[in-house]
Chains A and B, each alone.
Chain A
């Protein structure tokens, strides 16, 4: 199994990446009360446009957009939603409630930005795999090759009740945290794996040169280069082909946040980029609690070695460490700000990943140390918006460039700003084109069900 220092398919050496994770007014629950926040604007296009343009201008590699199909307050009633799924969850007055659909926010941002990758969160649990796959392809068209997908599944009874199609699986949290197999979790992971497989198969269902516009024969398409996928899994079937021709990137980068071994295995099977959560002492870190970068990287690489991803032509997983970040300003130290926000919230902020508050120089030290410990990038979750995003662009990124952690200039040549390139994933090989060429090195990934790790 290839190690991450091995050059991926296509021979492109991955460079370190810095992304930002955007959500509401920032990751602190009281962030919306910051003087610099604009809480009344959270549901406007202007708000999201300004954040995206700021990150794009600063040279951030990509942004992710959080999403879920339930209101945020439902998460506070317990990890798996309200006790009684017959009743809809109630909103909480003190936190930001409500979200716009992440994929559509990304579609809005895309034509207004130039280089930044746009990665919305879309769940696999209740959505239609066909809609999800084609909408992401469309995002790749409207962004001209800058789209990705943050894959998520929705374990909660709240989400299941909102769709009413099937009950939520029962998950034994204690078992999951203890690293024991759990059939409920395995079911969700199995479904996510199927949806990922279907998406990838649909993305390959049109070959690059399927549209021939051959006036002489009257044929718009070469029907031999458009393929049904005929996926028949345990939970659903999808005939295909996609309604969308092959997207600019062919295969969009699939990203996945993972705290636990079964999800590392899912990432190894279907994802390109994995977000890990090192150095958190909080319960929220789940199975990652108390584990450092090196330990998590080793665990992910072990999961990767147990998967057949190289045989399926995938580049090694890019491992990206998440970091909540609040940066000092001239007016106030970030530590004071965090204290103030905690007081407003009524409890100290805890995250599933490390929370950093301080100066840009210390932040750059930490990121440099993580880089040396084997991660391919960091995803910064700004404590509050827009001020921490502004500070990331103005102080932290220049420092990372100065120190050589990031390249001095955007290495993407004009006209090649695709997200795969940023992650060093190489050009996606179409499975049908590869099979036609009889290539032994890049066999077609199978469309069969990936076994859920039990």
Chain B
């Protein structure tokens, strides 16, 4: 018998519950999703629970349904970077990670903002790089339109490479701050970046010295082959949708299997599926709570809106307690900004839903609850802790992004009842910096390796800029 392998450690992320139909705003204890007190309260719980980081999603346009503002779900959220910085200001150890689109930002600006957050937070910043390829969101931005679906990862790839050049353009010791010699900065250690590529044409010198982590931790959330390829090349974390055990294992194998070709080791990328947890004092109690929460998450009106989005048309008179419509989905292009994920083949999807409703004898609302509000882990704290552990030891994930259904205290019960059990099992930290580092960066908290040096990258070069030395007046 060989000595047993050390237990794999679980990573936990706290997703601030905001804009979506999982947030139960009708609960009498539900608070504001926008006042800073809610973020403070949520962050304090997550840090008490020793979570790796707090995560914020991004939505760059208020959702519409049938061409009008969608009025059923929580709407309204803060801008990602400003609120992450304020959260970092009131916490000490926990990471702050936000979703920021590579389509609707510009590299020089976003790179300096992320580097600024990394400085201010003492190395706790992360960036979930998403591509937002649709004209609906593009309606709020200068570039207007959107990128063709095929090009969005080309832009993301070029964006991240250029951002890394900017983050690397100040040497580690570039700031001398030497009073006696009068040299604040070593000009030899700061290089401008010029880049002439299909997406960007940039000549700039970064305004931000090297930050504590050098790069923010790079997160990716996307599922397509192109998305997985981008993740294998660039991401340190994948926020995935694959919460089930077998499905998770398959995704895990697929993505980690892509790493060697990118010259990376298996432990340089963590896979963290989104998960919802419902606890109870007994299994029956937990399942009853899950059922109740599911119906709270899916009001009759929400169920109808969900079906309408898939059908791609209004369905006046649809009874939420009755059967699915017998009419076929419309064959016009799905309207942008609908309250649902993209549906490629609506006729096939409708057939699939009809089959499930018939097999399980479900009304419209029951079907929508089953499709959308099925909670990932339901049971006693002991059961849930064991399940989370099983997924991680079984390489179905490296941890979870917990998506609570209540703002701002939806994490409290998990932190109070499940975290101690994970600690007892020896699979979750008992303090930040337990690896002997008093003020760990986010990357250290995650146990990820330092970012590798940059290889030769086509289309991007560092140059020593030449400028005129004449001093003129500034206007």
Please, which residues of chain B bring their CB within 8 A of the CB of A87? 192, 194, 203, 463, 465-467
The answer to whether B247 has its CB under 8 Å from any CB of chain A is no
Take A108-B85, A161-B202, A344-B182 as given contacts and tell me if A82 and B140 are in contact as well, using a CB distance cutoff of 8 Å: no
Bound Cα distance A215, B300 (Å): 12
Please, which residues of chain A bring their CB within 8 A of the CB of B207? 68-71, 98-99
Bound Cα distance A92, B469 (Å): 10
The answer to whether B71 has its CB under 8 Å from any CB of chain A is yes
- Contact across chains for A144 and B142 when beta carbons are under 8 A apart: no
Bound Cα distance A429, B76 (Å): 20
Please, which residues of chain A bring their CB within 8 A of the CB of B209? 43, 98
Chain B 58-90 against A: per-residue CB contact (8 Å), 1 yes, 0 no?
011110000011111111111101110110111
Closest residue to B189 on the A side, CB-wise? Answer: A91
Please, which residues of chain B bring their CB within 8 A of the CB of A75? 474
Chain A 247-282 against B: per-residue CB contact (8 Å), 1 yes, 0 no?
000000000000100000000000000000000001
Chain A 223-260 against B: per-residue CB contact (8 Å), 1 yes, 0 no?
10010000000011111111111000000000000010
Please, which residues of chain A bring their CB within 8 A of the CB of B204? 70, 88, 158, 161-162
The answer to whether A427 has its CB under 8 Å from any CB of chain B is no
Closest residue to A242 on the B side, CB-wise? Answer: B62
With both chains docked as a complex, state the minimum distance between the C-beta of A304 and any C-beta of chain B, in angstroms. 23
- Contact across chains for B119 and A44 when beta carbons are under 8 A apart: yes
Bound Cα distance A235, B35 (Å): 33
26 A–B contact pairs at CB < 8 A?
A79-B473, A79-B475, A85-B203, A87-B467, A88-B204, A90-B187, A90-B467, A91-B190, A97-B184, A100-B119, A110-B89, A130-B140, A131-B105, A137-B78, A141-B34, A155-B475, A164-B201, A164-B202, A217-B301, A218-B72, A219-B72, A223-B70, A223-B71, A239-B61, A244-B79, A284-B475
Secondary structure of the B contact surface, majority rule = loop
The answer to whether B149 has its CB under 8 Å from any CB of chain A is no
Bound Cα distance A58, B112 (Å): 31
Closest residue to A129 on the B side, CB-wise? Answer: B142
Take A79-B474, A98-B208, A162-B204 as given contacts and tell me if A142 and B60 are in contact as well, using a CB distance cutoff of 8 Å: no
Within 8 A of B (CB), among A194-218: 206, 211, 213, 215, 217-218
- Contact across chains for B68 and A78 when beta carbons are under 8 A apart: no
Closest residue to B300 on the A side, CB-wise? Answer: A218
Most chain A Cβ neighbours within 10 Å, of B75, B113, B186, B468: B75
Q: Which 7 residue pairs of A and B lie closest in terms of their CB atoms, listed nearest first?
A: A88-B192, A239-B139, A162-B204, A164-B201, A39-B177, A142-B86, A138-B82
A residues near B (Cβ < 8 Å) are 30, 32-33, 37, 39-40, 42-45, 48, 68-71, 73-80, 82-101, 103-105, 107-112, 126-131, 134-135, 137-139, 141-142, 144, 155, 158, 161-165, 173, 206, 211, 213, 215, 217-223, 226, 235-245, 259, 282-284, 286, 344, 350
The answer to whether B117 has its CB under 8 Å from any CB of chain A is yes
Bound Cα distance A80, B144 (Å): 29
Please, which residues of chain B bring their CB within 8 A of the CB of A99? 207-208
- Contact across chains for B190 and A43 when beta carbons are under 8 A apart: no
- Contact across chains for A104 and B113 when beta carbons are under 8 A apart: yes
Most chain B Cβ neighbours within 10 Å, of A37, A79, A86, A142: A142
Bound Cα distance A126, B202 (Å): 13
Within 8 A of A (CB), among B135-190: 139-142, 144, 170, 175-177, 179, 182-187, 190
Take A130-B140, A130-B141, A135-B82 as given contacts and tell me if A97 and B190 are in contact as well, using a CB distance cutoff of 8 Å: yes
Chain B 446-475 against A: per-residue CB contact (8 Å), 1 yes, 0 no?
000000000000000001111110111111
The answer to whether B108 has its CB under 8 Å from any CB of chain A is yes
Bound Cα distance A28, B96 (Å): 35
- Contact across chains for A88 and B465 when beta carbons are under 8 A apart: yes
- Contact across chains for A221 and B120 when beta carbons are under 8 A apart: no
Within 8 A of A (CB), among B95-130: 104-106, 108-109, 112-113, 116-117, 119-122
Bound Cα distance A69, B116 (Å): 13
Please, which residues of chain A bring their CB within 8 A of the CB of B88? 108
Bound Cα distance A86, B184 (Å): 26
Please, which residues of chain B bring their CB within 8 A of the CB of A80? 475
A243 in complex: contacting residue of B79, B122, B473, CB < 8 Å: B79
Closest residue to B188 on the A side, CB-wise? Answer: A93
- Contact across chains for B466 and A90 when beta carbons are under 8 A apart: yes
- Contact across chains for A98 and B465 when beta carbons are under 8 A apart: no
- Contact across chains for A77 and B472 when beta carbons are under 8 A apart: yes
B205 in complex: contacting residue of A86, A91, A105, CB < 8 Å: A91
Within 8 A of A (CB), among B320-376: none
Within 8 A of A (CB), among B427-443: none
- Contact across chains for B120 and A105 when beta carbons are under 8 A apart: yes
With both chains docked as a complex, state the minimum distance between the C-beta of B28 and any C-beta of chain A, in angstroms. 9
Bound Cα distance A105, B466 (Å): 31
- Contact across chains for B177 and A89 when beta carbons are under 8 A apart: no
Bound Cα distance A19, B162 (Å): 38
The answer to whether B193 has its CB under 8 Å from any CB of chain A is yes
Bound Cα distance A217, B25 (Å): 13
The answer to whether B265 has its CB under 8 Å from any CB of chain A is no
The answer to whether B8 has its CB under 8 Å from any CB of chain A is no
The answer to whether B40 has its CB under 8 Å from any CB of chain A is yes
A-B contact sample (9 more), CB < 8 A, given A105-B116, A243-B59: A37-B179, A97-B185, A104-B120, A129-B142, A164-B202, A213-B25, A237-B139, A241-B62, A284-B473
With both chains docked as a complex, state the minimum distance between the C-beta of A370 and any C-beta of chain B, in angstroms. 24
Closest residue to A127 on the B side, CB-wise? Answer: B109
With both chains docked as a complex, state the minimum distance between the C-beta of A385 and any C-beta of chain B, in angstroms. 14
Take A98-B185, A98-B207, A161-B203 as given contacts and tell me if A131 and B112 are in contact as well, using a CB distance cutoff of 8 Å: no
- Contact across chains for A138 and B205 when beta carbons are under 8 A apart: no
A244 in complex: contacting residue of B70, B71, B77, B109, CB < 8 Å: B77
